[in-house]
Amino acid sequence: MSFQLPTKEEKHDYVLEQFERIAKGYDLSNDVISMGMHRAWKLRAVLELIGERGAGKYLDVCCGTGDLALIIAKHLKPGSSVTGFDFAQNMLDLAAVRQEKAVRRQERLAGSGKEDKLKNVQINWVRGDAQNLPFADNSFDGAINSFGLRNLTDLQKGVSEMARVVKPGGYVINLDLGHCEMPLFAPIFAFYFSRVVPVIGGILQNDKTAYTYLPESLTTYPKPDGITAIFQKAGLKDVVHIPLAFGTVAMHRGLKL
Ligand SMILES: C[S@@+](CC[C@H](N)C(=O)[O-])C[C@H]1O[C@@H](n2cnc3c(N)ncnc32)[C@H](O)[C@@H]1O
């Protein structure tokens, strides 16, 4: 039987159940499927988010196991804060474990000159729905979502909520799959994504369904111009699309005025 994407009505519960289920093996699968490249994409996105500021209060929406939130924290000056936000409790639990490990590592390195600044940046993990953020208007210096937007039922609401909670002068960043259109590379990518990725998911996570959903979810996700339009409709200005990895990944940045 062919794979069927969830309907709009089913999507919230379907996605939640799926991420609760695959949380434990998520990081390994992510590293294998992206061949480790997601780390470089995330670092690039964090540099776009923070810009020259180096300090402030940042929000990572759909934070998953918290790797991006910790990258943000490592780039911030003491006294700053990062809030990781997700609806899957199993993901948030793993994010808290990641944070503890990072703090312990820092304690081991204390005095060596190699320690990072994690300890002096406050990190919070908050559970909730990205389409209805429980934060006041204009309360963050920037907000980012990596590989989460595609999973929301209402993409416009997801971006508009990020725009709402960011202060004027701050950036909203979205990093997600793109639609590669390079003549030679596009068919290779399509084959890898639709045929190889589900097999990897089946082997590593014993969950072929979740890793069939992944390429299928891209079929209904807008192309970069569509995401630009969503950013503009959310009131964001100077919206730019930055293609990464031959366009297989799309980063968008918009400014809140
Ligand atoms: C593909 S993972 C991305 C995790 C992480 N940001 C990364 O880049 O590795 C998508 C995450 O979005 C979360 N998510 C999906 N829909 C959500 C929603 N409506 N509200 C909050 N979190 C959601 C999932 O629980 C999951 O942790």
- Centre of ligand 1 to C-alpha 63, Å, is 6
Architecture of domain 8-179+222-255: 3-Layer(aba) Sandwich (3.40)
Give the single-character DSSP code of 194: I
Cβ of residue 45 lying under 6 Å from some atom of ligand 1? no
**Which numbered atom of ligand 1 lies nearest the CA of 214?**
1
Is there an atom of ligand 1 within 6 Å of 161 CB?
A: no
Closest atom of ligand 1 relative to the 16 alpha carbon? 25
Residue 177 in contact with ligand 1 by CB distance below 6 A: no
Handedness of CA 95, 44, 194, 221 (dihedral sign): positive
CB 254 within 8 A of CB 171: yes
Whole-prediction pTM: 0.95
Q: Is the CB of 210 under 6 A from ligand 1?
A: no
Q: Which atom of ligand 1 is nearest to the CA of 129?
A: 20
The CA distance from 108 to 114, in Å, is 10
CB 88 less than 6 A from any atom of ligand 1: yes
* 179/163 Cα distance (integer angstroms): 24
SS3 of 60-84: EECCCCCHHHHHHHHCCCCCCEEEE
130 Cβ inside 6 Å of ligand 1: yes
pLDDT tens string, the chain, 257 residues long: the values are: 578 899 999 999 999 999 999 999 999 999 999 999 999 999 999 999 998 888 999 999 999 999 999 999 999 999 999 999 999 999 999 999 999 999 888 888 877 776 666 768 999 999 999 999 999 999 999 999 999 999 999 999 999 999 999 999 999 999 999 999 898 899 999 999 999 999 998 999 888 888 898 888 999 999 999 999 999 999 999 999 999 999 999 999 999 99
Pairing of strands 81-86, 57-61: parallel
What would the 3-class secondary structure string for 118-168 be?
A: HHHCEEEEEECCCCCCCCCCCCEEEEEEECCHHHCCCHHHHHHHHHHHEEE
- Which of 33, 43, 86, 156 has most ligand 1 atoms within 8 Å of its beta carbon, as the pocket-test mutant? 86
